[in-house]
Amino acid sequence: MKLLVTGGAGYIGSIVAHQLVTAGHEVEIIDNLSTGFAANLPARARFHRMSIHQAADILTPDAGFDGVLHFAGSIEVAESVRNPDKYWANNIEGSLALLRAIRAAGVPRLIVSSTGSMYTGDGITAFDESAEVCPKNPYAATKSTVDQLIAGECGASEVLGAASLRYFNACGSVLTTDGIHLGERHDPESHLIPILLQAAGGQRPEFTLFGTDYETRDGTCIRDYIHVADLAAAHLLALAAIEPGRYEVYNFGNGAGHTNREVLDTVREVTGSDFPVHLAERRPGDPAVCIAASDKAHRELGWKPEHADLETIVGDAWRFHRELYAGN
């Protein structure tokens, strides 16, 4: 197929783009490189440095695209609280511009990068696709809104089929077939495993552990971690399963969470570093447990994670981290 990948220079988008190229698809990429990196791009993909708001310049009626995989957007929860306008503009207005271009071009397939952070529950039960959606911050609210927009677009179309993939803590790294190492690179970093690796590698003086009195097996929060290679594979499976006029939501996680202490201990074991840890009070709004039920993806897509072991995930992330900070 001929496919357009938005945000294809970012962490997950670039890994999916590489997998698509390896699978034999013709790939074009839109990215403004505000948070992505040109070095992440597949050599065999055609790159357009531009905003998602300009998607119609590429996604024209005569361009012949068979599908779009949409990763472009802003993703930092704390920033969305400080600057919600940026998230309305990038995530909602940008997605609307893309949907208009998709409609005008008659593109039949759309895969969307979404998030499990929009769910709310009892803090114990794993989230399946029927869980209540109640966003707690502007970032999650924009993702929920985009999912509603796409559901409506599919309902009004006899052509477009789409799927929103709601992730739970993508992590790890991938070495592509052409030797490019792809991993998490955020500034500032807000994700647990890369923050721990920065403490282990000396890029930050200590690690702060928020909350040690939750009703969990060791008192710290439990989260679901999914290897980015498994997540990327899910996009290809979802792309193949799309049907005209049908909109589906799939949750992706390993389904068996790890506590923050377990992740901390695994990072110390993998890296051999015994860095300082500062214990702090709970952060407001952090649930005790947040894990995915991915039964629907197993059943309908035949998806199964192949890199679920936490030590493997951390080991892959550490190899990328050491390469990224080599010589610093």
Which residues carry out catalysis?
139
Given the structure tokens 């531009």, which residue do they identify? 50
Contact status, residue 274 vs residue 201, Cβ threshold 8 Å: no
Rounded CA-CA distance 265/70 in Å is: 35
106: phi then psi, degrees, rounded to nearest 5:
70, 30
Q: Which amino acid is at 160?
A: L
